[in-house]
Amino acid sequence: MLLLCITGSVSHYFLIRAYDLLDAVAVQPLTYLQLVFASIMGVAIFGETLTVNMIAGSILVVAAGIFTVWRERVVARRKAGLPPK
């Protein structure tokens, strides 16, 4: 339990540092890996089952985040006067 607390605290510290050093648009897609790893650990270690609703909700959340990152990139390119990709 102590190891869980230490690793959780250290990971949050590094996430805060990443947001401090980089734009959120660069960091946020990497945080979606937490969802994947948490699902794998839940199934493998704790014997949880993933339901269709859980998977659909996860896909919806990740898709919304990826859309937001894409949209921010398009807006930034327009402000810079660059053609859209």
User: Model confidence over 13-63: pLDDT tens digits?
Assistant: 998 999 899 887 778 777 888 888 899 999 999 999 999 999 999 999 888
Asked if 28 contacts 65 with a C-beta cutoff of 8 angstroms, the reply is: yes
The pLDDT, as a whole number, for residue 85 is: 65
Residues 6+ apart with CB under 8 A from 48: 42
Tell me the whole-structure pTM to 2 decimals: 0.66
Separation between Cα atoms, residue 49 and residue 25, nearest integer Å? 32
Separation between Cα atoms, residue 84 and residue 75, nearest integer Å? 9
The pLDDT, as a whole number, for residue 23 is: 81
Residues 6+ apart with CB under 8 A from 68: 28
Separation between Cα atoms, residue 67 and residue 2, nearest integer Å? 37
Does 83 score more than 80 pLDDT? no
Separation in Å, CA 51 to CA 35, 56, 75, 80: 14, 9, 36, 44
The pLDDT, as a whole number, for residue 72 is: 84
